[in-house]
Structure 1
Amino acid sequence: MSGIGVLREGPLHAALKDALAGPGDRTEVKVGRYVIDLVRADGELVEIQTGGFGPLGPKLDALLDQHRVRIVHPIAAERRIVRVDEHGEVLSTRRSPRRATAVELFDRLVTFPSLLAHPNLTLEVVLTREDHIRGAAPVKKRRRTLDSGQRRLVEIVDRIVLATPADALGLLPPLPAAPFTTKELAALVGCRTVLAQRTAYCLHVMELVEPAGKRGRAPLHLARQG
């Protein structure tokens, strides 16, 4: 593997757009004031969002009531770290020990969890194998370690579609019948506490769980029945 090229964001987005496009679909289409990544032959607007969902807010406000919109969000189920020099030549490769799951969607969905109830909105999680292309070594700046790079698609592993709030429960193991804390949710899911907190917030907004008092200082959550 050589000639990786300059380090900048974009290849993952472009590769997904190519991979997801079907017969009759059009890319980079202007709809109103916005350019849409992919317009399906049946009229669905597809936006590929590799980062946070916040920047999509104005576009969704303008388009969602008149158009069916699908937000596609890639999550790296497997990742390889590839170090390159200034000429793009590969210096080293290693497998990242981190294995992300579709639960990571809640980290993004926290921006507007209530929108999943909109009849025109669909979310699609694309689980991927990726190469993360980075410079020869991390850079220190103001006591912070910077190790930015670009994500490159190797393979699409799975695709999970969420069309209603209830579909979000499919990203999680079955919730306890008894009240639970976010710490217990984190242990159940196998994720960090902050992600469990964001997950619980999304589930509350989508009316999939409800407050159930406290255990000591920790708020309790209870899965709604039916």
Structure 2
Amino acid sequence: MDKLRFENARKKLLENPQSKGIGTLAEKTVHAVLKEYYGGGEENKEIPLGGFVADVVSEDGVIEIQTRALYRLERKLEALLPLCRVTVVYPIEDRKYLLDIDPESGELVSRRLSPKRVKIWHGISELYGIRKYLGNDNLTIRFPVLTVEETRIRGAEKKRRADKIDKLPVEMTAEVVIRRKEDIAALLPVNLPDGFTAAEFAKLCRVNTDTAGKCIRVLSIMGIITECGKQGRCKLWALKKE
């Protein structure tokens, strides 16, 4: 992770957004800034390859930025992984500030920190959508941890939901890189009991049960944990011994 390079990429896009491609191919600002950070020069971006358009092609292979729903990359990964190394970038919005704009004056009405926190395990759960490629030597996953500002137009009627305009990345605070199963195993809570349920995993990792269930399936597919019994109607899981 290079905080200075991220800040330079952010400034470059925000100072002249139209000339840098924001808005092309339904691209949003977070996506565009990450593409600038990981990809650099314009000559590396949006390159046709394997029947698809790659976000970035560099000496290290293809870089794909996906801000949500990793399962949408399944067909692209199927085509590209046999050809070259592929790095998938999926941002984790750890802190989000909500900026409300008055629809008439355009002035900032409020700026507050959202109580919702996105954890690294939300990113791990997304890997379930590309599970058939986990363990492929050509695949690397990067989770940049971001602070973002979400700008919204407040509706004239208080009951009306605010319309989201865009999200602006403010800072990259960390980056988690997944190349092999040991990288995921290192993220597990140290106090994870030997024989745990999905509910216990959810509590320890501070995620909901749906996210916990997908994480457990990913951990099982990767050979990190294995089913070891039942507690009532709930499956018990334990770290798989080598």
Q: TM-score, normalised by structure 1?
A: 0.85
Which residue type is aligned with residue 16 of structure 1?
A: L
Stretch moving more, 123-132 or 101-110: 101-110
Structure 1 partner of 2:205: 189
Q: Which has the higher helix share?
A: 2
How far apart are 1:209 and its partner, in Å? 0.9
Which residue of structure 2 aligns with residue 223 of structure 1? 239
TM-score, normalised via structure 2 length? 0.80
Q: After the TM superposition, which of the residue ranges 107-116 and 83-92 deviates more from structure 2? A: 83-92
Structure 1 residue ranges without an equivalent (≥5): 1-6
1:48-197 paired onto structure 2 within 5 Å: 48-86=65-103, 88-137=106-155, 148-174=164-190, 176-197=192-213
Work out the CA distance in 2 between the residues paired with 1:53 and 1:21.
19
Residues 32-51 of structure 1 aligned to structure 2 (within 5 Å) = 32-40=50-58, 42-51=59-68
1: distance between equivalents of 2:117 and 2:84? 35
131-140 vs 121-130, greater mean Cα deviation: 131-140
Does the 8 A contact of 1:101 with 1:127 survive in 2?
A: no
The number of equivalent residue pairs is 217
Identity among equivalent pairs (%): 30
Larger strand percent: 1
Label 1:139 to 1:113 Cα distance change in 2 as closer, same or farther (>3 A): farther
Q: What SS is found at the alignment partner of 2:194?
A: coil
How far apart in 2 are the matches of 1:46 and 1:169? 24
Unaligned runs of 5+ in 2: 1-22
Query: Root-mean-square deviation (CA), in Å?
Result: 2.7
Higher RCO (CA < 8 A, seq sep 6+): 1
Which amino acid in 2 is paired with 1:116? L
